[in-house]
Amino acid sequence: MTAIARTGTGWRGLAALVCGALAAGGLTAAGVSALGPGAAEASSHREAPLISGQPQYDNTDVYAFVSPDKPDTTTLVANWIPFEEPAGGPNFYLYPEDARYDIHVDSDGDAQGDLIYRWTFDTKVKNKDTFLYNTDQVTSLDDPDLNITQTYDIDLLKLDDQKIVSTKKIADDLPVAPSNVGRASMPDYKKLRDQAVRQVSGGGTSYVGQADDPFFLDLRVFDLLYGGNLSEVGRDTLKGYNVNTVALQVPSADLRRSAKQPTVGIWSTTQRKNAQGDWTQVSRLGNPLVNEVVVPLRDKDRFNASSPWKDADFLTYVQRPELARLLEKIYGIKAADEPRKDLVSVFLTGVKGLNQPPGVRPAEALRLNTSVKPSADPKRLGVLDGDNAGFPNGRRLTDDVVDIELQAVAGELVGNKNDLGDAVNANDQAFGGTFPYLALPTAGSRGPLAGKGGQDGKDSASGSSARDALVGGSFERATPADGTDDAVLIGSAAAGAAGVLLVGLGLLWWRRRGRAT
């Protein structure tokens, strides 16, 4: 169509002009322009974007587990920006400067945070005249060829009755590990990761940077929610995608009240600065998939904006889960009697005798009993398989939370034995044995100098010029090795504009943000 228009510009006459424009889809309702003589350019009907991709405020997952190699410490991990394509240049994946990434710790079970670990970020661009992420091979974090560098602070806030009583900076201007641009640009990414693992004051260890997305599932499992079934699952649709992570390992004694009350509640929130200059909470996340699967559409956004203190508002969704009725319809697994006290334990209070603090106020948080020793042989189904060091006692990277939650909702804990699942049982990449445990990010494929058209493999042969690489419009989409399917495309923030747009649309309502639309 546009081709017609382009040749059309050479035509003569009004009809041809209109015709060419029409061929390009030129008739629109958008063009109400206000002008008297000349062209006041003020369109009286501005059509601003409705859909916007802002994945840097989109928190995907939270993990909390007793460190397997250092059982007196607890590791906290939280991830942002789902579906990072390895070849996501030229700007790659920056941490936002107008956001706060918070992990809250409730050490007495009253649904109020007693500690907040707060990450904030700062960006430096060495050469503002180029859009390039790196200008040549990057072999260390302080390599001058890394054109865009980020640093972070961590503040530890102590609260009493929701008032901040003290703030301590435990990390100050530490380096963020960059996006893994590609082997040509970053021949030894592991070295960059290792350089980015830093000690923080008070005896903790920190890593901030890119990682392989540790979550594994077949997104088609969510077809259950609208009448599909599990007959076509079994492929990890997150394979080959990265996330931006923050990981922190701290002495467990710092988190808990006392050795006698070793269970803590953990959740993350994301705040961003609004137009009026106030911090606004745009995301909240504790247990995986709760907002996606348990909370109905109309309340998903409200859930993101609310605090655990008020989670009684959502209690009934846990007690009477729609998913259980759907499973009954599809699989004939009789839904357990409501109200579902078993699910209240899993999602809101912790399981009695395992990870339920005394006098707990029901609230959506990961509940980790820090005194349970790490398991030498972690079971993917965690507590359901007799491994009390796993979900729902905290959450380890290897815990198969999709299967655990499906089986729990279907009544596993109240005698409805079942083996529901999405047939994806492990991450495609192995996790490490030491902090930060996350797998290295999948490497992108950009050559060392995107600006010189130096590209290889997936990223070339598309007629994309060096200019494309420079203009921020990364039109080409690298295809993960095993091909892409609709589920991923629909969810893929990194598929460029559309992915971002569609994530902005909330197509990823099935993961974390649970944004309904």
Partner 1 sequence: MSTARRAARTAGVVVALAAALTGGAIVLGGGAGAGRPPAVAGPAVPTVLPRDGDLDRGVAALRAHLRAQPKDFVSWATLGTAHVEQARTRGDPALYDAADRAIDRSLKLRPGNDAALAGRAAVAAARHDFHGALRHASAALAENPYNERALASRIDALVELGQYDAAARAADTADARRPGVPVFTRYAYVRELRGDVTTARRVLERALAGATAPGDVAYVSTALGQLAWRQGDYATALRRCGAALRADAAYLPALECRARARAARGDTAAAIADLRDVVARQPLPGPVLALGELYEARGERRRAREQYRLVDAWVALARAHGVDADLDTALAAADHGDGAAALRAARAEWARRRTVHTADALAWALHVNGHDEEALRYAHRATATGFDEATFLYHRGIIEHATGHTTAAERSLRAALRKNPGFSPLGAPAAREALREMGGGS
Instruction: Give residues 275-294 in contact with partner 1 (rule: CB under 8 A).
Output: 275-276, 278, 280, 282
Residue 258 or 276: the one with the smaller Cβ distance to partner 1 is 276
* Rounded Cα–Cα distance for residues 513 and 38 (Å): 47
Residue 190 makes contact with partner 1 by CB under 8 A: no
Stretch that binds partner 1, among 140-148, 177-185, 430-438, 474-482 (CB under 8 A): 474-482
Residue 127 makes contact with partner 1 by CB under 8 A: no
State which H helix or E strand residue 284 sits in. strand 279-285
For residues 106 and 280, is the Cβ–Cβ distance under 8 A?
no
Q: How far is the CB of 18 from partner 1 (least distance, A)?
A: 5
Residue 102 or 106: the one with the smaller Cβ distance to partner 1 is 102
Residue 31 makes contact with partner 1 by CB under 8 A: yes
Interface residues for partner 1 in 48-67 (CB under 8 A)? 48-57
Residue 226 or 376: the one with the smaller Cβ distance to partner 1 is 226
Q: How far is the CB of 228 from partner 1 (least distance, A)?
A: 6
Stretch that binds partner 1, among 28-36, 171-179, 247-255, 379-387 (CB under 8 A): 28-36
Residue 225 or 423: the one with the smaller Cβ distance to partner 1 is 225
Residue 43 makes contact with partner 1 by CB under 8 A: yes
Interface residues for partner 1 in 83-102 (CB under 8 A)? 91, 96-98
Residue type, 320: R
Contact string 435-464 vs partner 1 (x = CB under 8 A): -----------------------xx-xxxx
344: DSSP letter:
H
Residue 40 makes contact with partner 1 by CB under 8 A: yes
Burial status of residue 442 (CB atoms within 10 A of its CB: 0-12, 13-18, 19 or more): buried
Contact string 200-239 vs partner 1 (x = CB under 8 A): -----------------------x-xxxx-----------
236 — phi, psi (to 5°)? -75, 100
Residue 19 makes contact with partner 1 by CB under 8 A: yes
List the one residue from 2, 140, 167, 199 that touches partner 1 (CB under 8 A).
Answer: 2
Could you tell me whether strands 59-66 and 73-84 are parallel, antiparallel, or unpaired per DSSP bridges?
antiparallel
List the one residue from 158, 191, 272, 320 that touches partner 1 (CB under 8 A).
Answer: 272
* Rounded Cα–Cα distance for residues 517 and 507 (Å): 7
Residue 128 makes contact with partner 1 by CB under 8 A: no
What tokens does 451 get?
């600006």
Q: Is cis: bond before 436, omega within 30 of 0?
A: yes
Q: How far is the CB of 224 from partner 1 (least distance, A)?
A: 10
Neighbour order of strands in the sheet with 204-212? 59-66, 73-84, 242-251, 204-212, 198-200
Q: What angle do CA 117, 123, 128 make, to 5 degrees?
A: 175
Q: How far is the CB of 226 from partner 1 (least distance, A)?
A: 4
Q: How far is the CB of 191 from partner 1 (least distance, A)?
A: 28
Interface residues for partner 1 in 296-335 (CB under 8 A)? 297-299, 301-302, 304-305
**92 in the Ramachandran plot: left (φ > 0), alpha (ψ -120 to 50) or beta?**
left
Residue type, 328: E
466: DSSP letter:
H
Residue 486 makes contact with partner 1 by CB under 8 A: yes
Residue 5 makes contact with partner 1 by CB under 8 A: yes
- Helices 322-331 and 401-409: crossing angle, nearest 10°? 80
* Rounded Cα–Cα distance for residues 422 and 135 (Å): 43
Stretch that binds partner 1, among 59-67, 113-121, 148-156, 487-495 (CB under 8 A): 487-495
**Site size for partner 1 (CB under 8 A):** 113
Distances (CA, A) of 270 to 34, 248, 371: 41, 17, 29
For residues 178 and 149, is the Cβ–Cβ distance under 8 A?
yes
* Rounded Cα–Cα distance for residues 347 and 308 (Å): 12
Residue 72 makes contact with partner 1 by CB under 8 A: no
* Rounded Cα–Cα distance for residues 73 and 419 (Å): 33
List the one residue from 139, 388, 418, 479 that touches partner 1 (CB under 8 A).
Answer: 479
List the one residue from 30, 164, 414, 430 that touches partner 1 (CB under 8 A).
Answer: 30
* Rounded Cα–Cα distance for residues 246 and 156 (Å): 14
